[in-house]
Amino acid sequence: MNQMAIVKRELKSGLVEVSLLRQVECGLKCNGNCAGCMQAPKEELLAVATNPIGAQPGDRVEVESSVGHSIGLSALVFALPCVFLALGYVVGQLLGMGELSSLGMAGVGLVVGFLPAILVNRMMIRSSVPEFTILKFQH
């Protein structure tokens, strides 16, 4: 999905920091008289983008998300705790534990299932891979 952004500053050659604009009907160009107008967001959403078109700070650009594997990672991060929760309960039942002990094993499985999510999150934070690619200038 493409979004509008404003180039904030150049980080290094070919890499810039952009401020993402929230998508609204008027494109934040109205004079505020519209009854349905959502005002500009109070907080900036900053991201790193590759800059193949040579955009300068202050330029309004269209950006595209360059993280194609994020849906798969999201599914993995959300599914693993659920799978380990169920496996913990099943293992507790197979070992002949009572209901309460099996629920305890399910809790342990849930905690174990969150470990990969934490590791993936740390890996993504440490890698400074640009999240977006600038496609073109917007007028």
Mean of the pLDDT values across residues 103-111? 95
Residue 98 has pLDDT above 90, yes or no: yes
Q: How many residues does the chain have?
A: 139
pTM: 0.53
| Residues 50-77 pLDDT 10s | 999 999 999 999 998 866 656 777 778 8
Does pLDDT of 48 surpass 60?
yes
Domain assignments of the chain as residue spans, ordered by start:
2-67+129-137, 70-126
Q: What is the pLDDT at residue 128?
A: 61
For 100-104, what is the mean pLDDT? 95
Mean pLDDT across the chain: 81
Residue 52 C-beta-side C-alpha neighbours within 13 Å: 10
Per-residue pLDDT for 35 more than 70?
Answer: no
Query: With 70 as the cut, is the pLDDT of residue 29 above it?
Result: no
**Residue 132 buriedness (CB in 10 A; 0-12 / 13-18 / 19+):** buried
Taking the C-alpha atoms of residue 138 and residue 121, their distance in angstroms, rounded to an integer, is: 33
**Dihedral angle at the C-alpha atoms of 138, 69, 84, 123, nearest 10 degrees?**
-80
Q: How far is CA 77 from CA 22, 70, 74, 114, 116, in A?
A: 26, 10, 5, 8, 7
Q: What is the mean pLDDT of residues 102-115?
A: 94
Residue 84: in which H helix or E strand, if any?
Answer: helix 70-94
Residue 91: pLDDT above 90?
A: yes
- Looking at residue 93, its pLDDT comes to 96
Residue 22: per-residue pLDDT: 67
What Cα–Cα distance (Å) separates residue 121 from each residue in 59, 82, 85, 114?
Answer: 31, 18, 20, 11
**Structure tokens, 61:** 């650009």
Residue 32 token pair: 């505020």
Q: In the CATH hierarchy, which top-level class contains the domain 2-67+129-137? A: mainly beta
